[in-house]
Amino acid sequence: MPEPLFMDLLTSIDLETPEQVELKLDLAGPASRFAAQMLDWLLQFIVIMVFVIVLVAADALHFMDMVDEMQGGVLMALTIAIVWVFLIFYGFLFEWLMHGRTPGKWLINLRVISESGGPPTVLALFLRNVLRFADFLPTVYMLGGIVCALNARHQRLGDMAAGTLVIREQAPDQRYMPAAAHDLPRAASSMADTSLTQEETQLLRRFFERRAELTDDARYRLARRLAEQLFRRHGGDHSLSDEKYLEALYQGVES
């Protein structure tokens, strides 16, 4: 099957499960990862700005006068601590609480997973985030970006040490959501029993996959053509509608 041209730019790796089924993982490249990072920076900036504005407003409204000097110090200390934890542990905390995503990664559909395909351990998340200090060098993730671009699995230094990958996640395909799946007759268990050829099975499957999107007219004509051709080869009960006949064929229920 010919791939679209831009697929060359997307890297994926295969992960073999104990069932010996290969699962495909789409790796996130340096560009999309940096885009996620910029969104995270933006969020950090906004949150800190709001925090500062609230503090300044509280001060301007003499809200702070109510707390005496010592408590004012405690407030300042808390401010430093909160802002610092938010900035330094931003990546770790979000990746930990949001199962491998920061808000930026979530927006771009990226996720951190372990090299074995599962969720990373808390220690691995901590390690990859502490090593940001090294990846950031000399500034704006230049070192990490170069390493990530050259690395076959698009890992920055922190990922290499922690054994993690950043993958792109596909959004669920709407056509296969329960509503659309309703259109696809159950076939998995009986596929081998039918006398349909592989090509015919595929043809039918595509039809079922798409029929909800077709206009009524096109759907009707397509069903008619398919049904006529298949009836000639396979026979069966064609007394109901064309689509019912196709479904019956597909299910292997040759009544």
Partner 1 sequence: MISLYRRASADLARLRTAEASRDAIDELNRIVLLAHALIYHAAPPTRQSGIVQFLARDYPRTVRESWPFHLASFLIATLFAVLAFAQVQQDPFLIAAVMGGAEHEFVGQRTGADIRDRFLEADQPTLFSYVTTNNIRVALVAFALGITFGIGTVFILAVNGTMLGGFAGAYAQSGVGAEFWITVMPHGALELSAVVFAGGAGLMIGYSLWCPGRHTRLESLKRGGKKALIIICGLIPAFILAGLIEGFITPSAHLSDPIKLAIGGLAALVFWTHLLLGGRDQTDRTDPATDEDATNASAV
State the minimum distance, in angstroms, from the CB of residue 239 to partner 1: 30
Determine the length of the chain: 255
Angle at 15 between CA 20 and CA 116, to 5 degrees: 110
Among 32, 132, 141, 227, binds partner 1 (CB under 8 A): 132
State the minimum distance, in angstroms, from the CB of residue 28 to partner 1: 15
Strands 110-114 and 12-16: unpaired
C-alpha to C-alpha distance for 42 and 48, rounded to whole angstroms? 10
Size of the site for partner 1 (CB under 8 A): 54
**Closer of 169 and 238 to partner 1 (Cβ):** 169
Span of 45-53, 60-68, 132-140, 242-250 interacting with partner 1 by CB under 8 A:
132-140
State the minimum distance, in angstroms, from the CB of residue 3 to partner 1: 9
Angle at 195 between CA 194 and CA 197, to 5 degrees: 105
Q: What token pair was written down for 182? A: 């309703």
Nearest to 110 by CA among 31, 168, 193: 168
Among 31, 133, 149, 237, binds partner 1 (CB under 8 A): 133
Among 36, 131, 223, 249, binds partner 1 (CB under 8 A): 131
Q: What token pair was written down for 185? A: 């007759």
Which residues between 90 and 129 bind partner 1 (CB under 8 A)?
113-114, 116-119, 123, 126-127
Amino acid at the residue 88: I
Q: Are 119 and 100 contacting, i.e. CB atoms less than 8 angstroms apart?
A: yes
State the minimum distance, in angstroms, from the CB of residue 208 to partner 1: 10
Partnered with residue 111 across adjacent β-strands are: 167
**Closer of 119 and 252 to partner 1 (Cβ):** 119
State the minimum distance, in angstroms, from the CB of residue 23 to partner 1: 5
Which residues between 185 and 244 bind partner 1 (CB under 8 A)?
188, 191, 198, 201-202, 205-206, 209
- Does position 48 bind partner 1 by CB under 8 A? no
C-alpha to C-alpha distance for 135 and 121, rounded to whole angstroms? 20
State the minimum distance, in angstroms, from the CB of residue 237 to partner 1: 27
- Give DSSP secondary structure letters for 213-252: TS-HHHHHHHHHHHHHHHHHHH----SS-HHHHHHHHHHT
Tokens 């491998």 sit on residue: 100
- Residue 229: how many other CB atoms lie within 10 Å: 12
Which positions from 49 to 78 touch partner 1 by CB under 8 A, shown as an x/- string?
Answer: ------------------------xx-xxx
Binding site for partner 1 (CB under 8 A): 1, 15, 17-25, 73-74, 76-78, 80-81, 84, 88, 113-114, 116-119, 123, 126-127, 130-134, 137, 157, 160-163, 169-170, 172-173, 175-176, 188, 191, 198, 201-202, 205-206, 209
